[in-house]
Chains A and B, each alone.
Chain A
């Protein structure tokens, strides 16, 4: 039982990371109806940028973190929207999806060639120790990840539902044409979702990299699992992405422990197929109809 609970907590911690990335998927989907296939690389890159600032520019970690995160949000929030999304989206969803696939390759290879192909240690926010609770040995890092991610998601949920700007963001997502005629700055609200997506990815990167190390290929699994999490929870609901992330994280952890580490990647995919067949809008999603 203690072993099961330990795996459960580890799964919740990685699930919280998937949830952060999945929420980014859903926010961008809701405002722009696009899927960012480079989302995994968005989680991989901030840690690499921070390490590069430490090792190549000789900055202290705190300064490198501020600079790296700011540069990432500017480049992959603001810049991504202006340089890739805006020019491509008028040509339809498919060219944009392909463009984000290309971006993921560029980011991954760029991190490998521009920095290093080796996995790098990344400083942790908390000591790499464990604490015992009711006979269970729990990693402090896992606890920190769950707490920080929950706080971030709670703050985001508060912002979206309780503030005027957040509600304008919701309005811009639900009905951009009507939002425009009411004087809501729709373009700014859409840009805000891209900035939030980049910030969530940066947070996920800082939380996960001390455990998985910072490596150019980290985005592959995170991107896939976050995508599955968003579909499982419901692509059009933030709470769905949260639930989906936690479910996928726990299933991944338990599958690795009790089924096979070799086949662990397949288990969330099976879950994805089941959800698509039984409840295609996701566990918490709402059905959407689109005109042709």
Chain B
């Protein structure tokens, strides 16, 4: 199936009386990596919360795979094939790596019967986590914790991964490794929507870029176009980049 997997249509929402999303609209291509950039307060992380049912919307609609998913609960969205990896550390530090991983299967419906095998396969894919499968997750490095979160999200075979600031707190090497994992997932057909402060690196490995400002879509198109747009470079990618593009 081709086309668009996710569509936001004039979504309005926020926290209490503060409106963050002011009629946000965009469509995300199936099987692509799309990076969302924008200044602080643009609504980047809030968009993810809106998609994942963690924000009360005052109007607008969200469609996924042709279905209206506005107001769905996180559990129902997981079952539908959306996974959300928020920014920061999202593990349960006092539980073992294996038990953390098992939580990725909580929303598995009756049709998924091979979950133990999936967990073992996931551990096989990351040997460093396999070695620590039965120790407390708090002993993992920052990069391993992020790998664990991604791994956990993959257990349900998602169609769309929402990942917020995956590079926060990681060394440049681990950032590249994490981006490599995301590229690999894209190559397997999984759609990835990512918010990333490290905008230049993220756009370089993305297919599409999306610029949000004041809760509205300002630009949306191929990542290379966004990356080389002088206005974007000036505002979000640093002056040196802007000068380089300008020259």
Interface residues of A (CB under 8 A from B): 164, 167-168, 170-171, 174-175, 177-185
Contacts and interface: CB of A to CB of B under 8 A. Distances in A.
A171 B103 CA distance: 9
A167 B90 contact: no
Given A167-B102, A171-B92, A174-B93, A182 B54 contact: no
Contacts of B93: 174
A167 B95 contact: yes
A170 B74 CA distance: 19
Contacts of B74: 180-183
Given A164-B102, A182-B78, A171 B95 contact: yes
A182 B107 contact: yes
A178 B52 contact: no
A174 B94 contact: yes
Contact of A183 (B54, B92, B102, B106): B106
Given A167-B102, A178-B86, A178-B90, A183 B78 contact: yes
Contact of B92 (A164, A170, A180, A181): A170
Contacts, number: 51
B75 interface: yes
B84 A181 contact: yes
Contacts of B159: none
A147 B52 CA distance: 48
Contacts of A181: 52, 54, 74, 84, 86, 90
Given A178-B86, A182-B152, A170 B78 contact: no
Given A170-B92, A171-B92, A183 B86 contact: no
B92 A168 contact: no
Interface string B138-153: 0000000000000010
Query: Which one of A174, A180, A182 has the highest number of Cβ atoms from chain B below 10 Å of its Cβ?
Result: A182
Contacts of B95: 167, 170-171, 174
A26 to B, nearest CB: 14
Interface of B: 52, 54, 74-75, 78-79, 84, 86, 90-95, 99, 102-104, 106-107, 152
Most buried by A among B54, B94, B102, B152: B94
A18 B84 CA distance: 42
Pairs A-B, 7 closest by C-beta atoms:
A183-B107, A183-B75, A178-B90, A183-B78, A183-B106, A174-B92, A182-B103
Given A180-B74, A181-B54, A182-B152, A168 B106 contact: yes
B52 A167 contact: no
B53 to A, nearest CB: 9
Contacts of A185: 75
A241 to B, nearest CB: 16
Contacts of B52: 181
Most-contacted residue by chain B among A167, A170, A174 (CB, 10 A): A167
A119 B240 CA distance: 83
A184 B100 CA distance: 12
Contacts of A170: 92, 94-95
Which of A168, A171, A174, A185 has its CB near the most chain B CB atoms (within 10 A)? A171
Given A179-B103, A182-B103, 20 more contacts: A164-B102, A167-B103, A170-B94, A171-B103, A174-B92, A174-B95, A178-B86, A179-B92, A180-B54, A181-B52, A181-B90, A182-B74, A182-B104, A182-B106, A182-B107, A183-B75, A183-B78, A184-B103, A184-B106, A185-B75
Given A182-B106, A182-B152, A183-B106, A175 B99 contact: no
A174 B99 CA distance: 13
